[in-house]
């Protein structure tokens, strides 16, 4: 029995089919939540908006590399993000991997509305992989003669998941992709379905697999660019964090469509993922608003040490905040003595800002929030 042709070998490629009705509710939900995000942003000042922007871009940079097995240093990434946003940053020289990835993510955010070009794709591939010495084709489309295959398993038990178009076909395929992308995102003629178009963008690009490495990272970045161009404004989504959390499903869903051009199931799955990414970003924004409200209402009751510790709790996020803190952690954050920490914590409990559980070494303190 002859093996099934890959999707790019089908005569209809790259004319993807999908059921628009299966995506309508997701598109509506995404647009409604986008409006909520805009409303929340109006509530906060520039400084807090910048903190949110740095947090999301840092997270996206770290997670998109992590999906591919590359662990970046958070402090270096954050410093690089601030640098490319024009904010105050650590002047120390940052490693090329962290700086390159951060520059790509900031560029996608700030210059989302620029048309796509081959030169731009080559540039972001070079920025992502300039630190790699094991690759022969960095900053240009792959040229090697051997097949570009996605495989798993040990020698003798290898499993072929996908084989991309051969290298000699890549320039033509990418001409078609770039032309398609710019046509679909042309000003005044943009599709009103941002999730659908972002899902097709990711799927189309990843199946060409034009680079020797970095294809997944670029596909996700282009998804973000696609959403921003469809909405005609920059967007902040924790897309890579969501992909990383559902990585097994992500690869399984891509593999499921390797031999078909009907991609409805992929688009529905990816659309839901984008909504989760949007929800996560909005929740981070809500935390900033919660912090603003807290300090407006109770900031006058706090000394500098108490304010510093509570601000740090907000930065740590709800998962860490739900675990509370003990006197030792308070001392470490506030840089104070044991006796002072004890007085501060007792004072916070008496003012109903913290509540206390446990006794002695098991004592923990939790922030009371409305």
Same domain flag for 236 and 329:
no
The rounded distance, in Å, linking the Cα atoms of 216 and 202 is 9
Same domain flag for 361 and 269:
no
Judge whether 296 lies within some domain.
no
Same domain flag for 282 and 345:
no
Same domain flag for 255 and 324:
no
Judge whether 353 lies within some domain.
yes
Distances (CA, A) of 71 to 35, 56, 65, 353: 34, 17, 7, 38
pLDDT of residue 189: 60
Same domain flag for 211 and 321:
no
Per-residue pLDDT, averaged over 4-25, amounts to: 96
Judge whether 291 lies within some domain.
no
User: CB count, 10 Å around CB of 47?
Assistant: 7
Looking at the predicted structure, is the pLDDT value of residue 190 above 60? no
Judge whether 297 lies within some domain.
no
Judge whether 39 lies within some domain.
yes
Tell me how many domains the chain contains: 2
Same domain flag for 85 and 53:
yes
Q: Which of 286, 311, 329 is the last residue of a domain?
A: 286
User: Hey, what are 136's tokens?
Assistant: 């022969």
Judge whether 108 lies within some domain.
yes
Are the C-beta atoms of 26 and 227 separated by less than 8 Å? Answer: no
Per-residue pLDDT, averaged over 305-317, amounts to: 90
Per-residue pLDDT, averaged over 275-298, amounts to: 88
Which DSSP string do the residues of 221-274 spell out, in sequence order? HHHHHHHHHHHTS-----HHHHHHHTHHHHHHHHHHTTT-SB-HHHHHHHHHHH
User: Hey, what are 40's tokens?
Assistant: 């929340």
User: Hey, what are 3's tokens?
Assistant: 């093996």
Per-residue pLDDT, averaged over 312-326, amounts to: 85
Bridge partner residues of 183 (DSSP): none
Here the CATH number for the domain that contains residue 119 is 1.10.3290.10
Which among 70, 74, 169 is positioned nearest to 128, based on CA atoms?
A: 70
Per-residue pLDDT, averaged over 19-35, amounts to: 93
Same domain flag for 198 and 321:
no
224-283, pLDDT tens digit by residue?
Answer: 999 999 999 888 898 999 999 999 999 999 999 999 999 999 999 999 999 999 998 888
Here the CATH number for the domain that contains residue 356 is 1.10.10.10
Same domain flag for 242 and 355:
no
Judge whether 295 lies within some domain.
no
Same domain flag for 255 and 159:
yes
Same domain flag for 58 and 139:
yes
User: CB count, 10 Å around CB of 175?
Assistant: 11
Are the C-beta atoms of 363 and 356 separated by less than 8 Å? Answer: yes
The rounded distance, in Å, linking the Cα atoms of 239 and 147 is 29
- H/E stretch holding 151: strand 149-152
Judge whether 58 lies within some domain.
yes
Tell me the pLDDT of the chain averaged across its residues: 91
- Supply the DSSP symbol for 360: G
What's the start-to-end Cα distance of the chain, in Å?
Answer: 65
Which band of pLDDT confidence, cut at 50, 70 and 90, is reported for residue 316?
Answer: confident
- Supply the DSSP symbol for 10: S
Q: Which of 286, 318, 353 is the last residue of a domain?
A: 286
Are the C-beta atoms of 123 and 139 separated by less than 8 Å? Answer: yes
The rounded distance, in Å, linking the Cα atoms of 48 and 34 is 19
The rounded distance, in Å, linking the Cα atoms of 261 and 293 is 50
Give the range of the structural domain holding residue 123, as residue numbers without chain letter: 7-286
Classify strands 159-163 and 149-152 as parallel, antiparallel or unpaired: antiparallel
Beta strands in the chain (DSSP E): 149-152, 159-163, 354-357, 364-367
Q: Which of 256, 286, 316 is the last residue of a domain?
A: 286
Which band of pLDDT confidence, cut at 50, 70 and 90, is reported for residue 319?
Answer: confident
Which of 52-66, 132-146, 265-279, 303-317 has the highest mean predicted lDDT (pLDDT)?
Answer: 265-279
Same domain flag for 273 and 359:
no
Higher pLDDT, 318 or 352: 352
Same domain flag for 236 and 342:
no
């Amino acid at each position: 029995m002859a093996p099934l042709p890959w999707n790019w070998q089908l005569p209809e490629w790259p004319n993807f089919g999908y059921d628009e009705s299966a995506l309508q509710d997701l598109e509506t939900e995404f647009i409604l939540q986008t409006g909520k995000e805009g409303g929340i942003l109006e509530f906060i000042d520039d400084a807090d908006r910048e903190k949110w922007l740095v947090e999301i871009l840092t997270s996206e940079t770290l997670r998109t590399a992590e999906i591919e097995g590359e662990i970046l240093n958070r402090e270096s990434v954050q410093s690089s993000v601030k640098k490319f946003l024009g904010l105050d940053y650590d002047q120390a020289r940052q490693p090329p991997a962290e700086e390159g990835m951060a520059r790509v993510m900031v560029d996608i955010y700030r210059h989302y509305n620029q048309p796509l070009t081959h030169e731009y794709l080559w540039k972001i591939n070079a920025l992502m992989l300039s630190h790699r010495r094991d690759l022969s084709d960095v900053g240009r489309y792959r040229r090697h003669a051997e097949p570009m295959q996605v495989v798993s398993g040990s020698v003798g038990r290898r499993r072929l998941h996908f084989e991309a178009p051969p290298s000699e076909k890549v320039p033509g395929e990418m001409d078609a992709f770039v032309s398609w992308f710019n046509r679909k995102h042309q000003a005044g003629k943009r599709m009103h379905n941002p999730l659908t178009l972002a899902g097709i963008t990711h799927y189309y690009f990843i199946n060409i697999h034009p680079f020797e490495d970095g294809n997944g990272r670029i596909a996700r970045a282009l998804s973000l660019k696609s959403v921003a161009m469809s909405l005609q404004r920059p967007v902040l989504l924790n897309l890579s964090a969501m992909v990383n959390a559902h990585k097994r499903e992500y690869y399984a869903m891509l593999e499921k469509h390797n031999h078909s051009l009907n991609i409805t199931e992929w688009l529905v799955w990816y659309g839901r993922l984008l909504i989760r990414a949007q929800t996560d970003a909005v929740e981070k924004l809500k935390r900033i608003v919660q912090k603003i409200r807290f300090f407006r209402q109770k900031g006058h009751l706090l000394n500098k040490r108490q304010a510093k510790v509570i601000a740090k709790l907000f930065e740590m996020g709800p998962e860490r905040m739900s675990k509370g803190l003990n006197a030792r952690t308070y001392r470490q954050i506030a840089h104070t003595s044991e006796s002072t920490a004890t007085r501060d914590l007792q004072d916070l409990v008496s003012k109903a800002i913290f509540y206390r559980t446990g006794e002695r070494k098991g004592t923990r303190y939790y922030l009371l929030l409305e």
